[in-house]
Amino acid sequence: MAYDAPITEIEFCLKEIARIGDLQGLPGLGAYDEDILRPVLEEAAKLARDVLAPLNQTGDSQGARLEDGGVIAADGFKAAYEAFRTGGWMGLAAPEAWGGQGLPRAMALGVLEMFHAANMAFTLCPMLSFGAIEALLAHGTDDQKQMYLPKLVAGDWTGTMNLTEPQAGSDVGALTSKAVPNADGSYAITGQKIYITWGDHDLTDNIIHLVLARIPGAPTGSKGVSLFLVPKVLVNSDGSLGARNAVKCIGLERKIGIHASPTCVMEYAGATGWLIGEANKGLACMFTMMNSARLNVGLEGVGVGEAAYQAAFSYAQDRKQGKADGVSGPAPILHHADVRRTLITMRARVAAARAICYACGVSADLAHASDTPSIRATAKAREDLLTPIAKAWSTDMGVDVASLGVQVHGGMGFMSDTLAAQLYRDARIAPIYEGTNGIQAIDLVGRKLAGNGGASMRAMLTEIDETVRLARSTNDPQFVQLAERLWAASKALAEATDWMLARMKAEEQDKALAGATAYLGLAGDVIGGHFLARAAIAARSKETNFRARQIALAGFFAETSLASAPGRVPGIVESGDRFLDNSRALFGIE
């Protein structure tokens, strides 16, 4: 069955939950008007359905391959990329000054979700390019921007991120690649990088690598790391392509998923590169784009989850087993209550993750484009808070929902040729890269909470209070019940937040971090439940079926994820003591 983007759900989520309307008329987003939203989503949905989705399973079974001249993408990917490029999708949210369309990031996230759902392996290529564009926009010199940005924004060239080395994964500061200054101001980059997504390919005639390396004499650790731009093919001053640079892919990883996305081992053998931003500030440069890269990965969870839901729903309509009331002969398994339970679980969780990601995107847009400093500051804090949750909660959800999708398929779900099985394999990378979900939890507690004394989380709790108030004021029993569950869950989140802040203040960091992953899970559930409740309230004025769906999803999420929230506080605030104290007995370390 084909992936068909849930345009109405995406539009509704952007408008009524994430409140993309707040962006209308902002200076940096001049091209945005609410009327443009639906047509753009519809165009993206066509590309997703007609071009990207049909290549998802063939790309998985064929994979990318490394030949003498470099990496060859799976069949059809080059043409698909050409359709993506000519559609102008690379520059959707890039500044108009560089050839982009200057539309909100949040809107681009709606598009990104569709592309990930249709073909995550393909979509990683543009996704990494977004990161390169952002880094250049923030830290490139004017000359660098002139030379590279128009080509990247147009999609004529793609970009990569080169951080990881075998001994330097989560601990980026441990990297050892060298950058030796040349006489002309460029650098000679030498070293090996691993896990480089779309590090080489034949979709475009040039690739712009952003590479972390050390300049001789730089301080050890993360304070001696600089960022360099290293083109695959050197660019002449007139913009034409010159000589091949001394960088190449020397191996492809064998992975359990995203087979069509070449994961490259890259060798830099004195390759010519140029410093981006200041020397030894490379990690800071990476961090400016880290938030948006993490949010983009969160969308992978949403996309894969939605694709898994659609595949399972379709299978449940077709597959006949057993009997059901009102159905003559063998009944589609959709008629069995347990299957429907599984499907609504999938759907509610996807909807919650979508809301968290889009809301984070609108905050990112406001933080960037609002002309009011206080709004920018508040929005930035909200974006920062939501980012690790969007990344980790959504990608964990993606894995769980893909697994449920396999389950709905029964034995077929375990077969290699089934889309559900592919999604289960593909989904598994997203909780790992762009900062493991454990790192996200540490970021949430260590930086996002402790960094501002909990102010941004308290602002979120106030936002939730408003939803509680609105739901109560309907005087509709279903909404009042929803309000009470959301209220109790938010009190649980507040309690856990206070405990985390107290631990960080008391410098009992280990105890806080022992509960960080469980805390992030709770925060995602409560904030997700808040957004679904907001959706249900907004849907009261919509047509009957749409309204019924929103209240069913919000109600289900409330009676499962929100109702269990208070009981999950002990697992956050007590666990650390218990197993850190017993680490000798459990793990043989103090």
Residues 495-534 touching a second copy, rule: CB under 8 A, are 510-511, 513-518
552 contacts a second copy (rule: CB under 8 A): yes
In angstroms, give the least distance from the CB of 510 to a second copy: 5
* Dist CA 76 CA 427 (whole Å): 22
256 contacts a second copy (rule: CB under 8 A): yes
Which of 50, 223, 455, 579 contacts a second copy by CB under 8 A? 579
Which of 8, 176, 321, 372 contacts a second copy by CB under 8 A? 321
483 contacts a second copy (rule: CB under 8 A): no
Both tokens of 285, joined, read 């440069």
Give the contacts of 515 (CB within 8 A, at least 6 positions apart): 496, 500, 571, 572, 573, 575, 576
* Dist CA 195 CA 165 (whole Å): 8
Single-letter code of the amino acid located at 236 = N
Piece of the chain touching a second copy by CB under 8 A; list 270-278, 339-347, 355-363, 365-373: 339-347
Binding mask 437-456 for a second copy (x = CB under 8 A): xx--xx--------------
Piece of the chain touching a second copy by CB under 8 A; list 23-31, 38-46, 65-73, 435-443: 435-443
* Dist CA 259 CA 74 (whole Å): 9
Piece of the chain touching a second copy by CB under 8 A; list 42-50, 184-192, 233-241, 552-560: 552-560
250 contacts a second copy (rule: CB under 8 A): no
Helix (H, G, I), strand (E, B) or coil at 239: coil
Which of 191, 277, 413, 454 contacts a second copy by CB under 8 A? 413
In angstroms, give the least distance from the CB of 58 to a second copy: 15
- Closer CB to a second copy, 123 or 370, in the complex: 123
Find the binding residues for a second copy in span 18-57 (CB under 8 A). Answer: none
Piece of the chain touching a second copy by CB under 8 A; list 268-276, 373-381, 494-502, 557-565: 557-565
Single-letter code of the amino acid located at 399 = V
* Dist CA 169 CA 166 (whole Å): 7
Give the contacts of 227 (CB within 8 A, at least 6 positions apart): 135, 139, 210, 211, 212, 275, 276, 277, 281, 282, 285, 286
Find the binding residues for a second copy in span 185-214 (CB under 8 A). Answer: 194-195
Instruction: Specify whether 434 is catalytic.
Output: yes
Burial (CB count <10 Å: 0-12, 13-18, 19+), residue 337: exposed
Q: How many CA atoms lie within 13 A of 480 on its CB side?
A: 5
Q: Identify each DSSP E strand in 521-588 by its residue range.
A: none
* Dist CA 108 CA 104 (whole Å): 7
565 contacts a second copy (rule: CB under 8 A): yes
* Dist CA 298 CA 300 (whole Å): 5
406 contacts a second copy (rule: CB under 8 A): yes
- Closer CB to a second copy, 223 or 341, in the complex: 341
556 contacts a second copy (rule: CB under 8 A): yes
471 contacts a second copy (rule: CB under 8 A): no
Helix (H, G, I), strand (E, B) or coil at 540: helix
Binding mask 144-173 for a second copy (x = CB under 8 A): --------------------x--x-xxx--
In angstroms, give the least distance from the CB of 172 to a second copy: 10
Rg, Å, the chain Cα set:
24
Which of 340, 376, 458, 542 contacts a second copy by CB under 8 A? 340
575 contacts a second copy (rule: CB under 8 A): yes
480 contacts a second copy (rule: CB under 8 A): no
555 contacts a second copy (rule: CB under 8 A): yes
Which of 50, 253, 371, 466 contacts a second copy by CB under 8 A? 253
In angstroms, give the least distance from the CB of 36 to a second copy: 29
Give the contacts of 155 (CB within 8 A, at least 6 positions apart): 81, 84, 85, 88, 89, 90, 91, 126, 129, 204
In angstroms, give the least distance from the CB of 283 to a second copy: 14
294 contacts a second copy (rule: CB under 8 A): no
- Closer CB to a second copy, 101 or 437, in the complex: 437
* Dist CA 397 CA 300 (whole Å): 10
219 contacts a second copy (rule: CB under 8 A): no
- Closer CB to a second copy, 197 or 363, in the complex: 197
> Which residue in 434, 559, 574, 590 is the catalytic one?
434
- Closer CB to a second copy, 379 or 527, in the complex: 527
267 contacts a second copy (rule: CB under 8 A): no
- Closer CB to a second copy, 59 or 150, in the complex: 59
- Closer CB to a second copy, 159 or 413, in the complex: 413
> What are the Cα distances from residue 411, in Å, to 91, 216, 320?
42, 57, 14
Residue 486, φ and ψ in degrees, nearest 5:
-65, -40
- Closer CB to a second copy, 103 or 283, in the complex: 283
Piece of the chain touching a second copy by CB under 8 A; list 74-82, 317-325, 361-369, 497-505: 317-325
* Dist CA 353 CA 382 (whole Å): 16
Which of 45, 51, 304, 339 contacts a second copy by CB under 8 A? 339
Q: Identify each DSSP E strand in 299-394 by its residue range.
A: none
570 contacts a second copy (rule: CB under 8 A): yes
Both tokens of 428, joined, read 């598994």
Both tokens of 432, joined, read 């790992």
* Dist CA 241 CA 237 (whole Å): 9
* CA-closest candidate to residue 539, choices 485, 488, 470, 463: 470
CB 186 within 8 A of CB 273: yes
**Which pairs from 150-153 meet CB under 8 Å and 24+ separation?**
150/98, 150/99, 151/206, 152/90, 152/208, 153/90, 153/91, 153/94, 153/98, 153/99, 153/100
- Closer CB to a second copy, 2 or 415, in the complex: 415
Which of 244, 341, 469, 505 contacts a second copy by CB under 8 A? 341
Q: Catalytic amino acids?
A: 434
